Structure formats: structure tokens, C-alpha cells
Amino acid sequence: MNPIADLLSADAIYESLKAGMGAYTPDFELRYKAQLAAEINKLKKERNAVILGHNYMEPALFHTVPDFVGDSLYLSRVAAETDADIIVFCGVEFMAETAKILNPTKTVLIPSQKAGCSLAEGITAADVRKLKAQFPGVPVVTYVNTYADVKAETDICCTSGNAVAVVESLDSDMVIFLPDMYLAQNVARETGKTIIFPEQDGTVNGKADVIGWNARCIVHDKFTVEDIEAIRADHPDVKILAHPECRPEVVDASDFSGSTSQMIRFVEETDMPEYLLLTECSMGDNIMAANPEKNMLRLCSVRCPHMNQIQLQDTLDALRYTQYEVTVPEEIRVKAARSVQRMIEIG
């Protein structure tokens, strides 16, 4: 629970933003954002709303209005337990949709309709049906970064925080793991399994323990081993953390790999001269604002254009105008809910 999320005074919010971000953010910007945050916190109370914020939100939003912040797994858990009437999801569409899948009677809002995800857009329900027809009876694991109709075709969901545990929980030598190509390769390696990918038309020629798919995250796809070598040449003591949506060779060349919250925890619990996160760059800013003594190297060009759609003004408008409401057809929701619930139960 974030204590700033209850503050109604713009001055008090400004003071807290200044303490974390004052060294590198102009004062008028902090005052403007504090004012927006105070209006959001007031409206949130009046409407019995809860705001969930993903770790990739920009620092002024991340450190003010969300009642809960975290990775996809944690936010799914919080969404499953909230008793608020309205859930405002400061994250991307598949995350808000997951909250709706778990809360059919609540109003779930996403502050921008442009917050998609290249992984979720990389696979359709028809693609999953085609794979299932080729491998009848083989359990299907899908990353939560998918839309509800894909989750509905699935036996169990996973996130980057529990993918290995989910695969290991299945009593099956073979598994279909969708849709992130690199996450599937990273999980296959960690569980000692072989992996194969379908042809362009979805046909799988051959057999392996894991049947993957070819979607990739446009953000994590950008990092290369050459980037890591160049950074280590200039910063020999740097600790490099890679999200498991990065290529396997990038994960190999890094010092740690984990979900967004696992990466944050690693930085907070260790004491290294410098850190570099191979993930959406707002996370480094968020860590610095909360831990000014941490020295974070930054790759500012690597922003998720989808996460970046969600700003304080959009969040205020979401509460003011009850926009944009997330809906999922009931027949799909019921099936998708089984896969999400099963994941939550595993941990």
C-alpha cells in the first residue's frame, strides 16, 4: 500500500516528489504533477476506486496515485482481492483485461485506449486452436501478456515471475508455451527442456518438450550482447539485470534475470556500485526516486510506447468521465478466469 496514494494535499504530494525527483526535475513540473495527483486521490476516494500501477509507469505517476504498484503477477493478485467499486489500471490493456476477468461485476477502467502490447498482439485464439489440434492433450501455458480470447483457449497462465514454477507444476513432459519466443526459450533452458517453433503458417514440423510461438516484445527485443559488452567495457563494476523477455544470450550475458518486481528487489537488497536494467527505462527512474543513493545507468531510448500512453492527466480523466471501460464477453471471461485463477493459486 502506497501512503502517498491517500494524500489529498497537493503541497504534501509536491514535497514527497521533490524529495525523490527534485535533483533532476524542474519545480514547476513537480508542482503541476502534484496538483493532478491530489485531484486524482480526491476523486478516487469519492468514487471508492482503487488504482493499480505497473512498475513501468513514469515516476511522478508511479510514486503518487497508485494504491498498489508491482509486476503483473502481484497486480493480478491484488485485483482478485479488491473490494473497491472501480479499478483504474495504470498499465496496458491485457493487464486491465485480466483485472476484469477476475472482477466481472466491477467497473474496470484503463486511462488510454492506445495502451496495447506487441506480445498480446502477436497471437490469436485461432492460432492457439491450430496448435492444440496438432498436439491434442498437451497442456497450454500462456503468458498473461495475451488477450482474453487467447487466455480462454489456455489451461493455465503465467507471468515472468512464475513461468518456471507454472511449467514445473504441470504433470506433463510436453507443454505448449505461448506467445513470447524468448521467454519460452529462457523457460525451456531453465527447466532442461528442448524447444521447437512453428513455421510461418502455424504448422509444427518435428517434436520437442516445449512448443513455442514467435511473438516478441518490441522493447526487450532491442537489447543485444554487443550492448552489454560495450557497457561493461566502460563500467566494469556494473550489475546488469535482464527481464526474461530478453533474448536468451542477453539473459546469459547478464548477472540476474527476473520479473520487474524481482529486478527492483534485487537492486534494493544488494549494494553494488552501479546497476543497469535491461527493460523499460522508467523502472530505473522509479528506483532512483525511491532510493536516491542507488546509481542507475540508463538507456532512456528504450521506452514502451504502450505503457507510456498512461499519464496522470489520462488517469484523472478516467475517473472524471468513467473512461475507458474494459469489457470481456461473459463466455470468454469464464474460460479465461479458470486459467488466470489457476496461475494465481500456484504463486
Q: Which residues bind ligand 13P (CB under 6 A)?
A: 55, 71-72, 145, 159-161, 217, 243, 245, 259-260
Residue whose CB is less far from ligand SF4, 153 or 280:
280
Q: What 3-state class would DSSP assign to 201? A: coil
User: How far, in Å, are 57, 144, 145, 166 from residue 158 at the CA level?
Assistant: 22, 6, 9, 6
Q: How many Å apart are CA 57 and CA 309, to the nearest integer?
A: 9
The answer to whether 177 touches 141, Cβ cutoff 8 Å, is yes
Please tell me whether residue 283 binds ligand SF4 under the rule CB under 6 A.
Answer: no
Assess 217 for contact with ligand SF4 (CB under 6 A). Answer: yes
From CA 90, how far away is CA 98, in angstroms rounded? 13
Whichever of 16 and 311 has its CB closer to ligand 13P, that residue is 311
Given a contact cutoff of 8 angstroms between Cβ atoms, the answer to whether 51 and 88 are in contact is yes
- Where does 135-224 have alpha helices with state H? 148-151, 163-169, 181-190
How far apart are CB 217 and ligand 13P at their closest, in Å? 5
Task: Give whichever of 41 and 159 is closer to ligand 13P, judged by the CB atom.
Answer: 159
According to the binding rule CB under 6 A, does residue 257 interact with ligand SF4? Answer: no
Cell triple for 214: 514467435
Considering only CA atoms, which of 137, 221, 149 is closest in space to residue 176? 137
Neighbours of 8 (CB within 10 A): 13
Task: Give me the 125-164 binding string for ligand SF4, x by CB under 6 A, dash otherwise.
Answer: --------------------x-------------------
User: Taking CB within 5 to 8 Å according to partner kind, which of ligand SF4, ligand 13P, none is near residue 159?
Assistant: ligand 13P
Choices 101-109, 116-124, 134-142, 223-231; region in contact with ligand SF4 by CB under 6 A: 116-124
Q: Which stretch binds ligand SF4 (CB under 6 A): 34-42, 82-90, 162-170, 300-308?
A: 300-308
Cell of 218: 518490441
Where does this chain bind ligand SF4 (CB under 6 A)?
92, 117-119, 145, 217-219, 245, 280, 304, 306-307
